[in-house]
Amino acid sequence: MPEHPIINIHGHLHRGEDLKKLVNDMSKTGVIKFCALALGKQLYEKGYYDNDLVLQAMKEFPDIIVGMGHIEVGGPVLDKPEKVEELKELGFQGLKFINPGAPYGHEKFYPFYEKAEKLKMPIVFHTGVVSVNTDDRIYNVNSEYMRPFSLDPVCRYFPDLKVIIAHPGEPYQQESLTLIEFHKNAFMCLSGGSGSDFHINKIIKQLSGIENADMKNLDENFALFYLKKCVFGTDNPPASLWYRQSIKLLDYFKIDEETRQLYFWKNSANIFGWNIKP
């Protein structure tokens, strides 16, 4: 178990799994807060928790499970902006956006962002390529709508809205890095790829600076800068797996202890305004 706390800002729950065992396993890994991201009808049918099930989990384990409500912004049935307020009243502390019917930066989504900003509800945005499903045409799924840079106007026009860019935005990882560099309210979750070595090695390649870099020099070891704006998340794999992979990544770039604390919990605590003492 790590010496510092861990906040998992991006995780999913699946129907049929033992929730009590999952919570116990997370606690053993050092996770003190687990942000459970609800998903909509398309992915509910694939076994993921929707808003109702996440709400039940929040009530069952209120000390650790933080609800992130799903907003339907694509597909045959769309939510109205008032859904944001409804989710807040139910106890959800943040939101999840995925598979929009237009790029995230489209004006028709601004009313959702305005309400989320006002209610201090951070939004986790799926970015980049998304898994393929047989009913994608029905739900108008288009990975191009989730390019990271479509979030640029969102970050600009809603400066108090905390934006979490999930899955480095493959194949547009540099867009994600540029967003977290220029926007104070933008952060990046590195999860994805089932936490595989393949996924981690792609991240290492993207974050690597110049050849034969001085690993203590921020101008040469780019990861020293970018990882200060990253947050710990797991997506689907267990926290223990992503903790090991995170240590591999941080050790590779010789990341200092202060930045590790930011990555594992401090950034996420600040995003939600939580007063957490390790």
Q: For 240-269, what is each residue's pLDDT tens digit?
A: 999 999 999 999 999 999 999 999 999 999
H/E stretch holding 7: strand 6-11
Q: For 189-233, what is each residue's pLDDT tens digit?
A: 999 999 999 999 999 999 998 888 899 998 999 999 999 999 999
Q: For 157-184, what is each residue's pLDDT tens digit?
A: 999 999 999 999 999 999 999 999 999 9
pLDDT of 278 above 80: no
Question: pTM for this structure?
Answer: 0.97
Evaluate whether 39 touches 74 at the Cβ level (below 8 Å).
Answer: no
Of residues 132, 168, 107, 129, the one with CA closest to residue 43: 132
Nearest-angstrom CA–CA distance, 271 and 277: 15
Q: Where are the domains of the chain?
A: 6-272
Q: For 2-12, what is each residue's pLDDT tens digit?
A: 788 999 999 99
pLDDT of 1 above 80: no
CATH architecture of 6-272: Alpha-Beta Barrel (3.20)
Nearest-angstrom CA–CA distance, 129 and 1: 33
